[in-house]
Structure 1
Amino acid sequence: MLLAAAVVAAAFNLRPAVTSLGPLLERVRDGLGMSATVAGLLTAVPSLCFAVFGLAAPGLARRIGPAAVVTAGMGAITAGLAARAFAGNTAVFLLLSALALAGIAVSNVLMPVIVKRYFPDRVGPMIGLYSMALSAGTAVAAAVTVPLTSAVGGSWRAGLGIWAAAAAIALVLWLAALAADRGGNSAASRETAGGAPALRILRSRTAWALAIFFGLQATGAYATMGWLPQIYQDAGISAGESGVLLAVTMVISVPVSFALPSLAAARGDQRLFVVVLGCFGLAGYAGLALAPAGAPWLWAVLAGLANCCFPLAITMIGLRARSAVGVAKLSAFSQSLGYLISIPGPVLVGALYQGTGSWYVPIGLLAALLVPQMAAGVLAGRARHIEDEV
């Protein structure tokens, strides 16, 4: 129960470092004298950090154990978020943000490993809890950062720094869980170290398919979160309502993220879920392109359902390997490569919008990317294990 609580607390803290910054970005720019170019690059920094630092997670887990690495990750998030609130210039702000993102990256990769190692018979329900908490943290940080900032005096420094308190709670829980299970964590470390050299992940077709699926779903999710309000505002919907509609896309994923992993794990084969979620995305994009103001709430719900490919991908990572060794390598490979794939998407959407002056081409691109996403997901969703392929 202590470890389950620690998993939920960690998951809640894996996105506020990113989603709390967006609503306050203009104030941060003014306070630090940040250029528009650097502010634009900030949208790509999280994915880049997730990809680069995530690759280090399996090696760290082999040395000190996955639970210890996640504990250190919570410490990095806490320290990074607390310290960047006092940053005096842009360079220091970016460096401390990278520290927090590094903690998020290693935790991203190793949370499926923790679930597989400590909850082998409850992979679906535990990934459901993890995904639900992650979605909740994403939505809550986006929704309440501005009101919280106003409540603590209006300073962007206080508004960003307050999220370090939530990360500190997760850190305390992980320290307690680590102290209560020193032997189990050491065993996990030895297990990972002993089996890692024999598993050549690059030879697995399923691993490549899962990485592509992860990357394309992340592309759609980040593009939606970044540009959906602008799509609605260009259709004549007020800024306030467009913000609420964005919140709907995030909130709808909270209950679905809890239920979907259990359903997917119980089925064994996840191809049906891949196709159904992809069809939701196609319907949502069609509505946003042709009649964004016609049924805006419906399009928001459909977009939110399409973004639930994330918990499905995390579930498949836990199911496509037989052991914690395989899950560690598969998680690092698919998430790191996937986040690299996702980096150009939101930037390209913005460039197409600026170049064409309308949303038909950018939304058409996102809809077209759903086709290879579903194809890769169908390959990754077959009931098989990467150990059998390599």
Structure 2
Amino acid sequence: MSSSPPARPLWRGRALALVGIVLFAFSLRSAVGSLSPLLDHVTQDFAVPAPVVGLIGTAPPVCYAVAGLLTPALERRFGLERLVVAAMAIAVLGLVARSLAVDSLTLLGSTAIIFAAVGTGNVLLPPLVKKHFPDRIGIMTTIYSTTMAVSTFLPPLVAVPVADAASWRLSLGLWAVFAAVAVIPWIALLVRERGDGGAGGAGGAGGDEDVESANPRVFGRLWRLPLVWALTVIFVVSGTLAYTSFAWLPTILVQTAGVSNAQAGTLLSLFAFMGLPASLAVPVLVARYNAIAPLFAVAVGSGLAGIAGLLLAPSAAPWLWVALLGIGPLFFPLTLVLLGLRSRTHEASVALSSFVQSIGYAIVSVFPVSIGLLHDATDGWAAPLWVLAVVVAAAIPAGFVIARPHTVEDEWERRHGAWS
């Protein structure tokens, strides 16, 4: 019977891995919110039609969905650290290319390159932690998830001031520096492991941890379970609010609330910042206190209140409306913790995570571009905001399903007989 390895200091024999994971996590989110506050600056050089803005907002969830399916096979062929280096190198190229874009198509294409790399990185982080920190998985997961939250709200905060002081190209391109620096620890680890004759992970942490693919038999069963679709719905609600806001919220605020571009960037940073306390508190509240129903009420109520404020009185208290809207995506950490709690077996957990994230991101990808098209068709933001309100309200029936303490195996056995 296996046992957990004894805990040892985070930095002993694995400082490179610790620094590498933190820098890697930071680089995976810094590109998400750095562009939309600068669209007014970009359009002074070339036109960026609303459908292209929508497609740029769609790029992250599409790439995340595809990466969730392709990355396991790539990792098995090339290895964790080599794939990390490749992903960050591609991200650097994409970030530099985006800062040099000459029209809307090159802006869109470079953004797609960036998020192809980022989507791969999202899948690689958990096995990197498992390989190099098998004794500290909890604290390392908290460290990298918090780092990702910080790197989500920081870029929109500085995007416009840097663009005003220098240029929008420098403002976009500076994030390539962080991605380039993130490559260094992983190259050093590869060199050290080659010098050690290809021994296991840092500090003797063990051999490579494969990125697992979902068992096709188990994955196929999930289509027939209401619990799985309820988890997918709340994941879609979270992703729709997040990626639609990153694509369009600054524009909505400038056009309806009368704020400046710099203020809109700061407000987008506030939206992203609201995810930081949620990422820290939600897993604890769910795992220890089963606080699913109260969290649902807070997320749905806050999301609807924020949308109502933007619809009815956008200029009255834009900070309040954005803060309330930013509470809505607490569904994301809620979904992540429930992926573990709503499955009994390891293979079911892997299949459930793959199903919810791949299907969920595929659905989410429809919304940013659709919101842009709807805005063009109606020449206003009322109809798009009503669509977002309907999306948030869709979480309510899903909440009743997932609040009951049962697993996908329980649901299958109740409906179809033995799980195994």
Aligning the two structures, in what range does the TM-score lie when normalised by the shorter sequence? 0.7 to 0.9
Is the Cα–Cα contact under 8 Å of residues 133 and 254 in structure 1 kept in the other structure?
A: no
2:301 to 257, 279, 284: 279
Show CA shifts across 1:14-40 (max 9, x none).
232232222344555665776665455
Is the Cα–Cα contact under 8 Å of residues 220 and 307 in structure 1 kept in the other structure?
A: yes
Within 1, Cα distance between the matches of 2:326 and 2:25?
19
Report whether the alignment pairs 1:339 with 2:339.
Answer: no
Report whether the alignment pairs 1:162 with 2:174.
Answer: yes
Show CA shifts across 1:133-184 (max 9, x none).
2222122112213333455x4361x332221111123223344566471675
1:293 to 305, 309, 315: 315
Q: TM-score, normalised by structure 1?
A: 0.80
Show CA shifts across 1:243-302 (max 9, x none).
433332222322332333333333467454234322221222233323333333322221
Report whether the alignment pairs 1:226 with 2:244.
Answer: no
Q: Alpha-carbon deviation of 1:105?
A: 0.7
Alignment-derived partner of residue 172 in structure 1: 184
Structure 1 residues 192, 242: closer, same or farther in 2, change over 3 A?
closer
Structure 1 residues 169, 38: closer, same or farther in 2, change over 3 A?
same
Report whether the alignment pairs 1:131 with 2:133.
Answer: no
Within 2, Cα distance between the matches of 1:268 and 1:384?
12
Within 2, Cα distance between the matches of 1:141 and 1:323?
39
Within 2, Cα distance between the matches of 1:27 and 1:77?
23
SS of 2:125's partner is: helix
Show CA shifts across 1:72-101 (max 9, x none).
323332333235545677666554433321
Within 1, Cα distance between the matches of 2:349 and 2:123?
9
Within 1, Cα distance between the matches of 2:120 and 2:406?
26
Report whether the alignment pairs 1:50 with 2:68.
Answer: no
Within 2, Cα distance between the matches of 1:382 and 1:118?
36
SS of 1:16's partner is: coil
Is the Cα–Cα contact under 8 Å of residues 84 and 161 in structure 1 kept in the other structure?
A: yes
SS of 1:367's partner is: helix
Q: How many residues align?
A: 385
Please give the residue correspondences for 1:210-289 in structure 2 after superposition, counting only pairs within 5 Å.
210-239=231-260, 240-267=262-289, 270-289=292-311
Structure 1 residues 29, 280: closer, same or farther in 2, change over 3 A?
closer
Alignment-derived partner of residue 415 in structure 2: none
Within 2, Cα distance between the matches of 1:233 and 1:259?
32
Q: TM-score, normalised by structure 2?
A: 0.75
Alignment-derived partner of residue 201 in structure 1: 219
SS of 1:188's partner is: coil
* RMSD across aligned positions (CA): 3.7
Within 2, Cα distance between the matches of 1:378 and 1:184?
42
- Structure 1: gaps spanning 5 or more residues: none
Aligned-pair identity in percent equals: 36
